């Protein structure tokens, strides 16, 4: 046989007590705003707590009496007790669901922030590499006249590597997929391969002429 379930009902104020003072005491007792507690002190019977065992119900009764309220403690019918327990379970499930959803939202925001931070870092790195490639290209143009075709191609390779790295970082920062980045790099490689081939053929022709 299951234990009896009790409820505590507020029935009004004790003689000689002022509603505003009692409301402040109840606010401290239930950790609620005094205005909310004052609203329930209108003389109507209000159930404050249900689904309690007798010991806890008596504790509530003593606390309410100490705050200046009149209250009653009564047992709940079997069906009402089951409904009260079901209501508590439903509220607990709802609270757990809300907490889980809140956690998901927080994790999603953190992931979004990390993604945005990484994208900004990639864009900044890609821009810096592009500037480095321009500087290297300027140096290359200065020394190119002193190089034979083979050495010219070799000197050009670091510039190509920096430009490819710049393109990869910029594309990743812009959110391009891996396949899209590969396609862009492949398109960039076509003219570079052509330049390398021309350099090699030029060097071979020069060697034959020599």
Q: Which of 61-75, 99-113, 178-192 has the lowest mean pLDDT?
A: 99-113
pLDDT digits (tens, 9 = 90+) for 91-141: 544 454 355 445 544 665 676 788 788 888 888 988 898 898 889 878 877
Residue in 124, 183, 152, 203 with CA at minimum distance from that of residue 160: 152
Give residue 41's pLDDT. Answer: 87
Give residue 205's pLDDT. Answer: 59
Q: Which token pair is 204?
A: 């071979």
**Range 30-52 burial, b when 16+ CB lie within 10 A, else e:** eeeebeebbebbeeeeeeebbbb
84: left (phi over 0), alpha (psi -120 to 50) or beta: alpha
Percentage of the chain modeled with pLDDT above 90:
7
Give residue 179's pLDDT. Answer: 75
pLDDT level of residue 14 (50, 70, 90 thresholds)? very high
| Domain 6-76 is found in CATH 3.20.20.330 | no
Q: Where are the domains of the chain?
A: 6-76, 116-209
Give residue 96's pLDDT. Answer: 47
* 196 pLDDT above the threshold of 60: no
Q: Which token pair is 91?
A: 């509220």
Give residue 46's pLDDT. Answer: 86
Q: Which token pair is 135?
A: 């500087």
* 77 pLDDT above the threshold of 50: yes
pLDDT digits (tens, 9 = 90+) for 148-162: 767 777 877 788 788
Q: Which token pair is 168?
A: 């990869």
pTM: 0.41
């Amino acid at each position: 046989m299951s234990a009896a379930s009790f409820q505590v009902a507020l029935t009004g104020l004790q003689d000689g007590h002022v509603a505003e003072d009692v409301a402040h005491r109840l606010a401290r007792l239930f950790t609620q705003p005094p205005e909310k507690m004052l609203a329930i002190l209108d003389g109507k019977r209000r159930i404050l707590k249900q689904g309690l065992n007798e010991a806890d119900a008596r504790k509530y009764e003593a606390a309410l009496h100490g705050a200046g309220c009149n209250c009653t403690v009564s047992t709940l019918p079997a069906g009402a007790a089951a409904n009260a327990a079901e209501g508590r379970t439903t509220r607990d499930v709802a609270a757990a669901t809300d907490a889980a959803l809140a956690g998901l939202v927080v994790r999603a925001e953190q992931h979004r922030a990390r993604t945005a931070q990484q994208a900004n870092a990639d864009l900044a790195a890609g821009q810096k590499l592009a500037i480095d490639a321009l500087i290297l290209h300027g140096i290359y143009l200065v020394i190119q006249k002193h190089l034979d075709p083979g050495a010219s191609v070799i000197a050009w390779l670091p510039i190509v590597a920096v430009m490819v790295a710049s393109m990869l970082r910029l594309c990743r920062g812009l959110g391009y997929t891996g396949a899209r980045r590969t396609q862009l790099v492949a398109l960039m490689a076509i003219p570079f391969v052509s330049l390398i081939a021309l350099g090699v053929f030029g060097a071979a022709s020069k060697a034959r002429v020599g």
